Amino acid sequence: MSDLIARIDGTAGRITLNRPDALNALTYDMCLEIESLLDLWEADPNVSLIIFDAAGDRAFCAGGDITMMYATAEAGDFEYGRKFWTDEYRLNAKLAICPKPIVSFLHGFTMGGGVGLGCHVPHRVVCENSQIAMPECGIGLVPDAGGSLLLARAPGRFGEYLGTTTSRMGPADAIFVGFADHFILQEHWGAVIQSLCDTGSTEALESFAQDPSPAPLMAIEAEVTEFFRGEYFGDIVINLQHAGGDFATKTLKKISISSPLAMAATIEMIHRVRGLDDIVRALEMEYRFTYRAAEQGDFIEGIRAMVIDKDKSPKWQHSLTGSLLPAASAMLRPLGANSLNLTET
């Protein structure tokens, strides 16, 4: 059974992720095949738009398939992961700048690499069960696949909050912070997709879209602004530790699970990317961290604890209250000859 179902349906090029038992996690081969299809359909005058959706009930795409990355890195081979990220990030950039309309239907879980696949395109559809998140800090990585740019563009300090707490967003929250555009009941998706294929127009998205319920994140906007405005991650931790109250207590509990190094680098990265507002520059910044993540960071231990052994007791290199800035900055230093170069995408 193919991991991708690709076809031309009317005026639309269609890609359906087809690994439902693995929550449609992206493999390396899937990334390469999607890129090839994107290149082909961009040049095809008979394809007016491109549609992404996924098989199964549970997920659009819960991220990249990291088991092979772990196995190779644990054996001392860091090049497989670096190659995977290089080619995945090239795909992310192409999706963001594709001249043809792309529509993604993001049901269930859309996380990490799934965000990179489905959330840089101009038309992003969510439904009642959509759950979107950037959970990378929990495995010793930073929000990547262009996720740092989406977080940097979020209103106020929600990017810092979502990136470090790895909190999940329902459909209303995803639209509020800029990870999605349209809320359409899933029962209508078939009719919407048929209209897209028949007409080559995205007008059906507006016709079927409804207003979601008020975004729950809006209820904590004042607290997020107050506590996450620090210049560095250490400032945020101190703010929360000295605040007391329900929000601070719950937030400290959330961040206590993740890699302090990754969270500190996430804050620094979001602040840098916010000033650039460029998908290529964001991906190049992320690659500085992911290039070093297995060899110098917490990636191997994070995957071991959360995915392989599942003891959920990772032994991070740094403490939450330690001096994190030097180490985080070191993970984001330019890579010189090893830098990611996407300027020709």
- Given 113, 146, 159, 170, the catalytic residue: 113
- Given 13, 64, 108, 114, the catalytic residue: 64
**Closest by CA position to 202, among listed 128, 124, 126, 129:** 124
Residues 334, 287: contact at Cβ < 8 Å? no
Task: For residue 76, report the phi and psi dihedrals to the nearest 5 degrees.
Answer: 90, 5
CA-based torsion, 222, 139, 145, 331: positive or negative = positive
159 Rama sector, left if φ>0, alpha if ψ -120 to 50, beta otherwise: alpha
Q: Is 113 marked active-site? A: yes
Instruction: State the SS3 of the chain.
Output: CCCEEEEEECCEEEEEECCHHHCCCECHHHHHHHHHHHHHHHCCCCCCEEEEEECCCCEEECCECCHHHHHHHHCCCCHHHHHHHHHHHHHHHHHHHCCCCEEEEECEEEECHHHHHHCCCCEEEECCCCEEECCHHHHCCCCCCCHHHHHHHCCCCHHHHHHHHCCCECHHHHHHHCCCCEECCHHHHHHHHHHHHHHCCCHHHHHHCECCCCCHHHHHHHHHHHHCCCCCHHHHHHHHHHHCCHHHHHHHHHHCCCCHHHHHHHHHHHHHHHHHCCHHHHHHHHHHHHHHHHHHCCHHHHHHHHHHCCCCCCCCCCCCCCCCHHHHHHHCCCCHHHCCCCCCC
The token pair that represents 227 in the structure block: 């506590």
Q: Is 64 marked active-site? A: yes
- Given 35, 65, 144, 181, the catalytic residue: 144
- Given 136, 160, 173, 223, the catalytic residue: 136
CA distance 56 to 194: 19
Q: Is 136 marked active-site? A: yes
Q: Is 231 marked active-site? A: no
Any idea which residues carry the catalytic annotation?
Answer: 64, 113, 136, 144
